[in-house]
């Protein structure tokens, strides 16, 4: 059973709109989260990490973490066609050498419609 | 900056064949990883190497061998390819194992006939 679940599987938003992606961990030990983005034909690239409760903003991207529910979300403001990609949520235990041992969700395919 | 180079980009094999994928990084990173990507299943960790001469099993190590020949290179061997198997194998590196910021290559696509 996958320890990190993402929803929705696929999401379409108009250019300039807001995209909201969700992720939940079923393992209480996984409290450190990353968002990765993969464009077609490329490897995933790290977007941002979030380790503390609350919001973290980087440009048009805002991540929100609720540690009590182990739920993390990613919100993309003013979505651009170049944001169309597969988005992965990844979680780790965060204890010493476990930080780099990421567990990935199945991904959300984002399509931004011009 | 740096780059992860995976070879070959495409690999076609026969059932039962032993197949090897290679990965090189010039970041001078300590830690390297091999992930398998299947449609609808995300990325699953096969093997990782914390430093040169180290080897750690991931969640999907059965059916695979790995070798960290030197700091900059990490190889993965499919010990016996399964008929109709199709997957993308992704190599990644990180500065140390104490970070979740991984840098990925573009992947090697395996097709087994």
> Per-residue pLDDT for B73 more than 70?
yes
Q: Which two tokens stand for residue A58?
A: 């980087």
With contacts defined as CB-CB under 8 Å, which chain A residues touch B33?
100
User: Using CA of residue A109, residue A102, residue B90, residue A77, what is the dihedral sign?
Assistant: positive
Under DSSP, the state recorded for B52 is T
Burial class of A59 by CB neighbour count within 10 A (0 to 12, 13 to 18, 19+): exposed
Q: Quick check: B40 and A104 in contact, CB under 8 A?
A: no
Angle at B82 between CA B79 and CA B84, to 5 degrees: 145
Candidate from B41, B43, B99 with C-beta closest to A100: B99
Please provide residue B51's backbone torsions phi and psi, each rounded to the nearest 5 degrees.
-145, 175
Q: Identify the residue with better confidence: A3 or B9.
A: B9
Give the pLDDT confidence score for residue A94 in this predicted structure: 72
Mean pLDDT estimate for chain B: 94
For B43, name the nearest residue in chain A, comparing CA atoms only. A104
For A4, name the nearest residue in chain B, comparing CA atoms only. B42
Asked if the C-beta of A107 comes within 8 angstroms of chain B's C-beta atoms, the answer is yes
Give the pLDDT confidence score for residue B107 in this predicted structure: 97
Give the pLDDT confidence score for residue B5 in this predicted structure: 98
Q: Could you say which residues of chain A have pLDDT below 70?
A: 1, 95-97
First to last CA, chain B: 38
pLDDT in tens, B32-65: 999 999 987 889 999 999 999 899 999 999 999 9
Mutate to test the interface with A, among B23, B31, B33, B43 (most CBs of A within 10 A): B43
Q: Quote the CA–CA distance of A24 and A15 in Å, as a whole number.
A: 27
Asked if the C-beta of B55 comes within 8 angstroms of chain A's C-beta atoms, the answer is no
As a dihedral over the C-alpha atoms of residue A33, residue A106, residue A83, residue A53, rounded to 10 degrees, the angle is -20
> A96: alpha, beta or left, given left = phi > 0 and alpha = psi -120 to 50?
left
Q: For chains A and B, count residue pairs whose Cβ atoms are closer than 8 Å.
A: 67
Candidate from A34, A105, A106 with C-beta closest to B100: A34
Strands A108-113 and A10-14, by their bridges, are parallel
What's the rounded mean pLDDT across residues B68-73? 95
Give the pLDDT confidence score for residue A97 in this predicted structure: 63
Q: How big is chain B by its Cα radius of gyration, in Å?
A: 13
Angle at A62 between CA A15 and CA B102, to 5 degrees: 100
What's the rounded mean pLDDT across residues B86-102? 92
Give the pLDDT confidence score for residue A67 in this predicted structure: 92
Q: Quote the CA–CA distance of B2 and B14 in Å, as a whole number.
A: 34
Burial class of A104 by CB neighbour count within 10 A (0 to 12, 13 to 18, 19+): buried
How far is residue A105 from each of residues A82, B64, B105, measured CA to CA in Å?
Answer: 22, 22, 19
pLDDT in tens, A83-98: 999 999 999 987 666 7
Q: Quote the CA–CA distance of B54 and B40 in Å, as a whole number.
A: 31
> Per-residue pLDDT for B104 more than 80?
yes
Give the pLDDT confidence score for residue A95 in this predicted structure: 64
What's the rounded mean pLDDT across residues B74-102? 92
For B46, name the nearest residue in chain A, comparing CA atoms only. A101
């Amino acid at each position: 059973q996958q320890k990190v679940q993402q929803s929705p599987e696929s999401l379409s938003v108009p250019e300039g709109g807001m995209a909201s992606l969700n992720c939940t961990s079923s393992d209480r030990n996984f409290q450190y989260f990353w968002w990765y983005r993969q464009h077609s034909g490329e490897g995933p690239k790290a977007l941002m990490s979030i380790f503390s409760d609350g919001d973290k903003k980087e440009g048009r991207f805002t991540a929100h973490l609720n540690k009590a529910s182990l739920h993390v979300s990613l919100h993309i403001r003013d979505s651009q066609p170049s944001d169309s990609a597969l988005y992965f949520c990844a979680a780790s235990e965060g204890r010493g050498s476990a930080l780099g041992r990421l567990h990935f969700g199945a991904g959300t395919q984002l399509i931004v419609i011009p | 900056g740096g780059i992860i180079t995976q070879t070959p980009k495409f690999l076609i094999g026969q059932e039962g064949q032993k197949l090897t994928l290679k990965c090189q990084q010039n970041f001078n990173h300590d830690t390297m990883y091999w992930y398998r990507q299947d449609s609808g299943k995300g990325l699953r960790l096969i093997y990782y190497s914390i430093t040169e001469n180290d080897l750690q099993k991931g969640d999907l190590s059965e059916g695979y061998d790995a070798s960290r020949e030197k700091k900059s290179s990490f190889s993965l061997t499919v010990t016996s390819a399964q008929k109709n198997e199709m997957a993308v194998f992704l190599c990644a590196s990180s500065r140390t194992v104490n970070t979740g910021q991984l840098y990925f290559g573009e992947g090697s696509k395996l097709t087994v006939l």
